[in-house]
Amino acid sequence: MDSIYKKYPAAMAPGDFWRQIKRTVNGEPVSDEQISMIVAAIRNALQLSPEDQLLDLACGNGALSQYFFNACESFLGVDVSDVLIDVAKRYFEQPKRQFVLADVGEYILSEPYPERFTKVLCYGSFSYFTEDTARSVLTRLSQDYTNVDRVFIGNLPDLDLHQAFYTDGKSHDHELKTAASLIGIWRSPAEFEALAASCGWSASIQRMPSEFYAGHYRYDVLLARVA
């Protein structure tokens, strides 16, 4: 996975933010309109307020994170890639808007003050967590991050729609449940709802507008605490 997290972004220009994190279509960065749709979906789901402390898991280079700085009191982004965190620190870090280098699965267990956070974001990266890490992250967020009331997990690959992405007529079954594959682990909405429920969350499946570039095979999830 180093090729995805380190070698690939290191080959991009320092300011080529969207290519670094593969937010592209046919190798070209997605449009500002596409980014605006992503930002709007996240803002609408998380309902950020000036008092919120936002935790961004697998934040990448901070190019998306920056859009939420003015909507919360403080921000912390965590990512395993030293290349991407270096970019985030160089271009986006500010007082009370910080980025740290850490493996998400390890960070979620070691954060000394988990109760300080109120909202959590994980966009475009959850499918690359192993099954054990995915379950651990969701469980710890539920049990230890006690003031978090909303978690937005975005751009998940939909197992029910994988043939809309793989259009070459070949079988890709061997890739669909592998975290280290090109897209990571594909889950149906029903699978994700079951995973969330087993970790203490109620999941609401959300879809992007039809004009969203990946809307034909991806979905978003908003997690709230089980009443």
pLDDT confidence of residue 66: 98
Low-confidence stretches of the chain (pLDDT beneath 70): 1-6
pLDDT confidence of residue 11: 81
pLDDT confidence of residue 4: 63
pLDDT digits (tens, 9 = 90+) for 91-127: 999 999 999 999 999 999 999 999 999 999 999 999 9
Decide if 133 is inside a domain.
Answer: yes
- pTM of the shown model: 0.95
Q: Which domain holds residue 187?
A: 103-225
Q: Find the CATH number of the domain harbouring 112.
A: 3.40.50.150
Closest by Cα among 129, 137, 134 to 55: 137
Nearest-5° angle of CA 45, CA 46, CA 47?
A: 95
pLDDT confidence of residue 3: 53
Task: Determine contact, residues 119/100, Cβ cutoff 8 Å.
Answer: no
Helix (H, G, I), strand (E, B) or coil at 155: strand
Decide if 216 is inside a domain.
Answer: yes
Decide if 39 is inside a domain.
Answer: no
pLDDT confidence of residue 1: 52
pLDDT confidence of residue 94: 97
- Number of structural domains (the chain) is 1
Decide if 210 is inside a domain.
Answer: yes
Decide if 108 is inside a domain.
Answer: yes
